[in-house]
């Protein structure tokens, strides 16, 4: 049986702007909600970029190929391109993006050890982070900056599944109640100004801002055996329409005259997946009484042999440095040095060379 998300979603729809690489993800309980989600995404992209959509690309799934979407595209003057059935290569960019998002979401969900029903939070977090980091498609400007015109802030980014403590307001606690509540980080809001936190006791998600984190404490982290079983089991099931390829819409934005502004025309895409996560949640057992450690007798401690060898080598190198003679700065120093005969020979050779070349005449 498929595992619904905490909010009841069974699917997620991923769209990607081909020029900027910006991704939009939506979560749906039923596939017929896709039409409104796509319209909202188009409206947001057009309002933020000042461009109008020109082309929308998808497969032949009924989520996009239907009378309602056809009327919408005709009214807006948007060309709707569809790929050939059973040929996902025609929609390769969004298919690869879907694989990347799916793999990243699976990884952070597995490493956190949180319940499978939080897969939607893992997907949303993956998309949020990917929009705010550089990649091969956008090596100089993030997708977020390309769409919204400002650099993203990553100051609040924390490890997915980290233990967090939120302050309980005075109005909601009594004199002897706890001042803090233990939660788990599962994501961020749309503009990464607030944290999305999962309360394991109530099974609900809240948004908070002022939080104290213990990033490296993940009480739900799975064991190595569970990780191995997770990777070997079934993780996802592709949803198709009449056994066609996964949905993958794309779009191109232009201005009101259908003439793109300077830069590459943008394209976006979308696709569907329905999750069947099989990882088992398991808390790490807290050790009981600790037996005292057996320490060595402090009286028998001594420096290791290799340490003495290093000291001997250092002394030898120091003696070699002392033996190196310094170069004299004056004639008197050269004559009085232990290498005086070599210096006299060198000076005579130099004078003979000047005499032979006629550099000067001795008076």
Predicted pLDDT of residue 239: 42
Distance between CA atoms of residues 128 and 143, nearest Å: 10
Contacts of 353 by beta carbon, 8 Å cutoff, 6+ apart = none
Q: Is the pLDDT of residue 1 over 50?
A: no
Span 291-319, pLDDT tens digits? 566 666 666 776 676 666 666 666 666 55
Residues 99-109 have a mean pLDDT of: 95
Q: Hey, where are the domains in the chain? A: 11-153+221-275, 324-356
Predicted pLDDT of residue 86: 82
Predicted pLDDT of residue 222: 62
Predicted pLDDT of residue 9: 95
Predicted pLDDT of residue 338: 81
Predicted pLDDT of residue 342: 86
Least trusted range by pLDDT, from 120-129, 133-142, 244-253, 313-322: 244-253
Q: Could you tell me the pTM of the whole model?
A: 0.62
Quick check: 2 and 274 in contact, CB under 8 A?
A: yes
Phi, psi (5° rounding) for residue 211?
-130, 145
Nearest to 119 by CA among 285, 214, 231, 4: 4
User: Residue 63: pLDDT band by 50, 70, 90 thresholds?
Assistant: confident
Cα angle value 149/152/153 (rounded, 5°): 150
Q: Which residue has the higher pLDDT, 235 or 126?
A: 126
Quick check: 112 and 220 in contact, CB under 8 A?
A: yes
Quick check: 199 and 149 in contact, CB under 8 A?
A: no
Q: Is the pLDDT of residue 232 over 70?
A: no
Nearest to 90 by CA among 126, 47, 59, 69: 59
Domain 11-153+221-275 -> CATH class: alpha beta
User: Residue 242: pLDDT band by 50, 70, 90 thresholds?
Assistant: very low
Helix (H) or strand (E) holding 275: strand 272-275
Residues 79-85 have a mean pLDDT of: 89
User: Residue 356: pLDDT band by 50, 70, 90 thresholds?
Assistant: confident
Distance between CA atoms of residues 25 and 80, nearest Å: 20
Predicted pLDDT of residue 34: 93
Span 149-207, pLDDT tens digits? 999 988 889 999 999 999 888 888 888 888 889 999 999 988 888 999 999 999 999 99
């Amino acid at each position: 049986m498929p595992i619904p998300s905490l909010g009841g979603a069974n699917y997620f729809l991923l769209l990607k702007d081909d020029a900027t690489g910006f991704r939009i993800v939506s979560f749906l309980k039923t596939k017929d909600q896709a039409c409104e989600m796509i319209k909202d995404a188009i409206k947001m992209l057009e309002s933020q970029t000042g461009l109008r959509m020109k082309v929308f690309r998808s497969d032949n799934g009924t989520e996009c190929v239907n009378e309602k979407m056809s009327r919408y595209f005709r009214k807006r003057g948007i060309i709707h391109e569809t790929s050939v059935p059973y040929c996902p290569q025609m929609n390769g960019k969004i298919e690869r993006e879907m694989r990347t998002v799916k793999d990243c979401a699976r990884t952070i969900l597995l490493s956190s050890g949180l319940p499978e029903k939080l897969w939607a939070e893992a997907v949303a977090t993956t998309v949020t982070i990917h929009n705010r980091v550089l990649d091969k498609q956008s090596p100089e400007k993030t997708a977020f900056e390309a769409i919204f015109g400002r650099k993203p802030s990553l100051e609040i980014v924390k490890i997915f599944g980290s233990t967090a403590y939120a302050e309980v307001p005075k109005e909601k606690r009594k004199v002897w109640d706890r001042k803090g509540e233990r939660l788990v980080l599962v994501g961020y809001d749309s503009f990464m100004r607030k944290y999305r936190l999962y309360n394991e006791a109530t099974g609900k998600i809240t948004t908070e801002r002022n939080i104290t984190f213990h990033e490296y404490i993940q009480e739900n982290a799975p064991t190595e055996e569970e990780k191995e079983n997770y990777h070997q089991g079934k993780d996802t099931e592709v949803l198709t329409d009449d056994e066609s390829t996964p949905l993958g819409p794309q779009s191109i934005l232009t201005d009101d005259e259908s003439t793109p502004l300077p830069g590459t025309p943008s394209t976006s895409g979308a696709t569907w997946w329905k999750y069947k996560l099989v990882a088992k949640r398991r808390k790490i057992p807290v050790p009981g009484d600790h037996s005292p450690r057996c320490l060595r007798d402090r009286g028998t401690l001594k420096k290791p042999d290799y340490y003495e060898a290093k000291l001997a080598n250092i002394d030898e190198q120091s003696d070699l440095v002392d033996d190196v003679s310094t170069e004299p700065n004056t004639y008197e120093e050269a004559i009085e040095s232990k290498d005086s005969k070599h210096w006299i020979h060198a000076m005579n050779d130099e004078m003979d060379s000047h005499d032979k070349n006629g550099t000067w005449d001795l008076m």
